[in-house]
Amino acid sequence: MTYRLDYEEDVLTVIDRLKDEHRDIDRKLSRVAEICRNYESGKIKVALSLLRTVSTEILRHAVEEEAIVARAIMKSKVTKEDSVESVSILQEHRRIKEFFEDKLPYLTNEFSEQKVRKEILEFIDEIMTHHKGEEKVVFPLA
Ligand SMILES: [Fe+2]
Ligand SMILES: [Fe+2]
């Protein structure tokens, strides 16, 4: 998938938008988590399709972080030691991408509903922690 990115845009403007997107994504994921937590039967399909819908948004968001935020950190005077933590936070994108590409498509067929709920809840937890890490560590560096 390719995305059109505006490299002329000010980094602070980009970061503000990325933070807004975190709120928006977290809100959608909270809705998915809510469905997974209360055990109404049949609802798991709704949770999975919501998750699929939000995946495009999450992946596009990650591409922009790598292209613009990571680039700004590299170009800044931040030392290698200072940027180690932010690099490892941004590397979590790989796991996020793997979940959407290699796990999500097979979740219903391969696992019990209980396992599907557990996998989704763990993933949502991971993404939300990732967002917090970016706002605390990565964005201030850029
Ligand atoms: Fe990210
Ligand atoms: Fe992010």
CATH number of domain containing 114: 1.20.120
Query: Residue 1 domain-assigned?
Result: no
CA-to-CA dists, residue 71 to 97, 130, 139, angstroms = 20, 19, 12
Give 23's pLDDT tier (boundaries 50, 70, 90): very high
Name the domain count of the chain.
Answer: 1
CA 16 to chain centre: 16
Query: Residue 134 Cα, ligand 2 centroid: separation in angstroms?
Result: 6
Residues with CB under 5 A from ligand 1 (ion): 62, 65
Owning domain of residue 116 = 11-141
Query: Residue 96 domain-assigned?
Result: yes
Average of per-residue pLDDT values in the chain: 92
Residue 32 contacts residue 120 (beta carbons within 8 Å): yes
Q: What is the pLDDT of residues 109-136, one digit of tens each?
A: 778 888 999 999 999 999 999 999 999 9
Query: Residue 89 domain-assigned?
Result: yes
Query: Residue 41 domain-assigned?
Result: yes
Closest ligand to 90 CA?
1
Tell me, what amino acid is at 21? E
Query: Residue 99 domain-assigned?
Result: yes
Query: Residue 3 domain-assigned?
Result: no
Query: Residue 130 Cα, ligand 1 centroid: separation in angstroms?
Result: 6
Query: Residue 127 domain-assigned?
Result: yes
Rounded to an integer, what distance in angstroms lies between the CA atom of residue 30 and that of residue 16? 21
| Statement: residue 17 has pLDDT above 80 | yes
Query: Residue 95 domain-assigned?
Result: yes
